[in-house]
Chain A
Amino acid sequence: MHGAGGPAGAALFGASAIWVATALFVLTYAVIMSDKLNRAIVALLGAGLLILTGIVDQKEAMAAVDWNTLGLLLGMMLIVNITRRSGLFQYVAIWSAKKVDASPWGIMLMMSIVTAVFSAFLDNVTTVLLTVPVTMLITEELKVKPYPYLFAQIFASNIGGTATLIGDPPNIMIGSATGLTFNDFAIHLTPVIIVVMAATMVPLYFVWGRHLHATDENRRHVMAFDERQAITDRRLLKQSLTVIAFVIAGFMLQRQTGIEPATVAIFGAAVLLLLDNLGKDSETQSKNVHGALSEAEWITLMFFLGLFILVFGIQKAGLIDMLAHALVTATSGNFQVTALAILWASAVLSAFIDNIPFVATMIPLIKAMAPTFGGDAALVPLWWALSLGACLGGNGTLIGASANLVVAGLAERAGTSFRFVEYLKVAFPLMLLSIVLSHVYLQLRYL
């Protein structure tokens, strides 16, 4: 996100810019949280009103949009949408279920691990859309309740997504705003995420895993699945895997090459589109490219676009500086207390509100603390606290993250109900466990 140029001079009907910007910001967030209107519509309307009221001019609005975040998201969406046609994700899911001889607990463990690993490299929602239907098919064959499996996959997707720069939108935003690289995220977050993932599976075993049973005959049905048949396009599979390998290498070499992840992802998507369309007639090419582009999550991308302008509005009006000052005062300027406050507050808030707007607001707020804590470099632990809190906090309630709602929606369509309170009873304590582990990790490693 770009720096604000100072308090806005604009005023509307005699009201100062800070009040108008704050009112618009709060109103927009309230409508987003109410779920009465599509969030992309609300964010774009809020951003438009900021420009129309003169708080942000058009040039500033364009500069406020973090194109790195949007480019990275779009590039990865395109790569995943093309790759999924190869059947790769179904192959891995079935292969992993068979590796544990179709034992109910083994499948729960393996599907959770597969979900977490996919989620570390793909968007969480995409991950659950790819893996949950296979899990439901397997549980149907095993004649076991799908709920524990889907619950575990929700957790795995949010935990796995925290592990890397590209796993979850908050991390993409943090990485883009701070210059922290793919490797930085892998070095600083992946270790604690492995611990959190392992620790989460222990209570899940005692709550559900040890009670899961399937007959030998039903297990044989699953073992009869032929994962090789899941691969529907071997040529595309090879192309996709090659491009994904180069893209991840590009992320890892960001510091050496100076090339932003957005460029790597968009270029990778373009190369994959090229390989997928080589030798095809122009009509087929148009159809393929149109299909790949139309399947991108445009709602998410437009939501981000509006959000960046909204946050810039309150930043320019001076609200972010005021909040940062208030937070530093509340923690008495103590770095350790500030980091842990960010971790816990992010976790609890992200369990109930969308973590994307929350993180979008927190980024400039934390940046504004740089003078207090000795410069940008000193802030790094705060970014890890924000990432861990915002990403893991989403597990706390059914509305805490988009992936949770997507899984609940898929389950409902197949006749399995996901109730808010039922989910909360197990999920919130488990989420707190992950935050306690993160607290210990931050304390031991950075504070």
Chain B
Amino acid sequence: MTALAICQTPFPALKDSDTVGDAARRMLEIAVWDLPVVDAAGRLIGMFKLTHLLGTLLPKAATIGGISDLAFVGDTLDYLRDRMRAVEDEPIRAYVAEADHVVHPETSPMEVALLLYRGERAVPVVDAGDHRLIGMVAAREVVGALLAKGGR
């Protein structure tokens, strides 16, 4: 079995011109934390992650280390809402992070399982030649494939 056999494909992807608000709403609808971002040719540009978005909404000072918690800051919900409103119409290109890991169609499930075990929520499967996005693989795809009837 290879990554191609277990990945979810086709997989919803974002364009870098999509707005932050639209992208986030779509992710909430389909209940995912991360979505791949592709260019017009379908090549992977990077990942748009809700946790990364939260990081950009926080005060910058809190993300550089040195502040262990923000319990002393008041009115944080309004603060975060204001920040969200300020960025929701911006294109997501400024918020796209390079994918920490990608795998190729022929990558072994063991390698995929190791990446997921080490903390990746979902790993893009891309063509080794042109970097075109083929699908995504998350823990549920791997476990689902292992439990599938007829498998060995």
Q: Which residues of A contact B (CB under 8 A)?
A: 85, 87, 90, 94, 129-130, 132-137, 140-141, 221, 224-230, 232, 410, 413-415
Say whether, besides A87-B68, A90-B67, A232-B69, A136 and B74 are in contact (CB < 8 Å).
no
Number of B residues near A (Cβ < 8 Å) is: 16
Interface pair B71/A410, CB less than 8 Å apart:
no
Contact of B64 among A87, A141, A224, A414 (CB under 8 A): A414
Name the residue of chain B whose CB is nearest to the CB of A146: B61
Interface pair B75/A136, CB less than 8 Å apart:
no
Say whether, besides A221-B75, A224-B74, A226-B74, A137 and B69 are in contact (CB < 8 Å).
no
Q: Using a Cβ cutoff of 8 Å, how many contacts connect chains A and B?
A: 64
- Collect the chain B residues with CB atoms within 8 Å of residue A137's CB: 59, 61-62, 67, 73
Query: Hey, what's the 0/1 contact readout for B60-83 against A, CB within 8 Å counting as 1?
Result: 111111111101111100000000
Say whether, besides A133-B65, A133-B66, A90 and B72 are in contact (CB < 8 Å).
yes
A132→B66 CA distance, assembly (Å) = 8
- By secondary structure, the B interface counts as loop
Interface pair A226/B72, CB less than 8 Å apart:
yes
A141→B71 CA distance, assembly (Å) = 15
A85→B67 CA distance, assembly (Å) = 10
Q: Which residues of B contact A (CB under 8 A)?
A: 59-69, 71-75
Interface pair B60/A225, CB less than 8 Å apart:
no
Interface pair A94/B72, CB less than 8 Å apart:
yes
21 inter-chain pairs at a CB distance below 8 angstroms, sorted by A residue, are A90-B68, A129-B65, A133-B65, A133-B66, A134-B66, A137-B61, A140-B60, A140-B61, A221-B75, A225-B72, A225-B73, A225-B74, A229-B71, A230-B71, A230-B72, A232-B68, A232-B71, A410-B66, A413-B60, A414-B64, A415-B60
Name the residue of chain A whose CB is nearest to the CB of B60: A414
Interface pair B60/A136, CB less than 8 Å apart:
yes
Interface pair A130/B74, CB less than 8 Å apart:
no
Given contacts A133-B66, A134-B61, A410-B65, 18 further A-B contacts (CB under 8 A): A129-B66, A130-B66, A133-B62, A133-B67, A137-B62, A140-B61, A221-B75, A224-B73, A224-B75, A225-B72, A225-B73, A228-B72, A230-B71, A232-B69, A413-B63, A413-B64, A414-B61, A414-B63
